[in-house]
């Protein structure tokens, strides 16, 4: 177990997946096949992920809800990125992965490369540790926070801000 923790601190999150007996998370080879089969083009590096998480955590009071789409799940699956002002690098998130920051089973380690996109809805209804009540998020403010981190592929609509971690090659060619 200590060896697993040391590997996680170095950026390897693989050993933690083996701790889940009923895991639905694919390993790195399966992810590579899934990315290739769906012609997905990456828009995020691990370094950019760490910077983005730091920026979102810094503004945790303004970011009330962030939905997550994992690569292997259907778009209707509802997961959330869980964080607050006490979330910290080296404890909750690392160079290549995060721990217990994505809602839903199995709750554990997720590599950044497993996330297809992040959604910030205008009307937020869920935030861990708070009673659910509708709150309006300032999407332009969140977009400004994201843009300070670096260049992203972002779609801003009236009711949603989406930050893409991957784009399908056909979609890129259409733009």
| Residue 104 pLDDT grade (very low, low, confident, very high; cuts 50, 70, 90) | confident
Q: What is the 3 state secondary structure string of the chain?
A: CHHHHHHHHCCCCHHHHCCCCCCCCCCHHHHHHHHHHCCEEECCCHHHHHHHHHHHHHCCCCCCCCEEEECCCCCCCCEEECCCCCCCECCCECCCEEECCECCCCCCEEEHHHEEEEEEECEECCCCCCCCCCEECCHHHHHHHHHHHCCCEEEECCCEEEEECEEEHHHHHHC
What local confidence, expressed as pLDDT, does residue 16 receive? 40
65 has a pLDDT exceeding 90: yes
Determine whether 133 is exposed, middle or buried from the number of CB atoms within 10 Å of its CB (0-12, 13-18, 19+). Answer: exposed
Q: Is 7 a residue whose pLDDT tops 50?
A: no
Contact 92, 52 (CB under 8 A): no
Average pLDDT, the chain: 83
pLDDT digits (tens, 9 = 90+) for 107-160: 789 999 999 999 999 999 865 556 667 889 999 999 999 999 999 999 999 999
The first and second tokens of residue 107, run together, are 């709750």
Q: How far is residue 150's CA from residue 158's CA, in Å, rounded to a whole number?
A: 23
Task: Identify which has the larger pLDDT, 147 or 38.
Answer: 147
Average pLDDT rounded to a whole number, residues 92-102: 95
**Residue 8 pLDDT level (bands cut at 50, 70, 90):** very low
Which of 8-17, 53-62, 76-85 bottoms out in mean pLDDT, i.e. has the lowest?
Answer: 8-17
Residue 12's pLDDT band (boundaries 50, 70, 90)? very low
The confidence band for 106, taking pLDDT boundaries of 50, 70 and 90, is confident
pLDDT per residue as tens digits for the range 13-31: 443 444 333 344 567 888 8
């Amino acid at each position: 177990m200590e060896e697993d923790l040391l590997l996680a601190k170095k950026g390897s999150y693989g050993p933690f997946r083996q701790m889940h007996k009923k895991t639905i998370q694919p390993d790195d080879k399966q992810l590579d096949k899934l990315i290739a089969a769906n012609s997905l083009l990456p828009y995020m590096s691990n370094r950019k992920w760490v910077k983005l998480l730091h920026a979102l955590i810094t503004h945790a009071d303004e970011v009330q809800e962030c939905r997550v789409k994992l690569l292997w799940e259907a778009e209707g699956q509802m997961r959330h990125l869980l964080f607050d002002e006490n979330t910290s690098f080296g404890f909750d998130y690392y160079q290549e992965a995060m721990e217990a920051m994505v809602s839903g089973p199995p709750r554990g380690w997720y590599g950044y490369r497993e996330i297809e996109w992040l959604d910030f809805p205008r009307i937020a209804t869920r935030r861990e540790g708070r009673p659910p009540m509708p709150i309006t998020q300032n999407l332009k403010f969140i977009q400004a926070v994201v843009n300070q981190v670096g260049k992203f592929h972002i779609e801003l609509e009236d009711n949603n801000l989406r930050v893409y971690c991957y784009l399908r090659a056909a979609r890129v060619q259409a733009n």
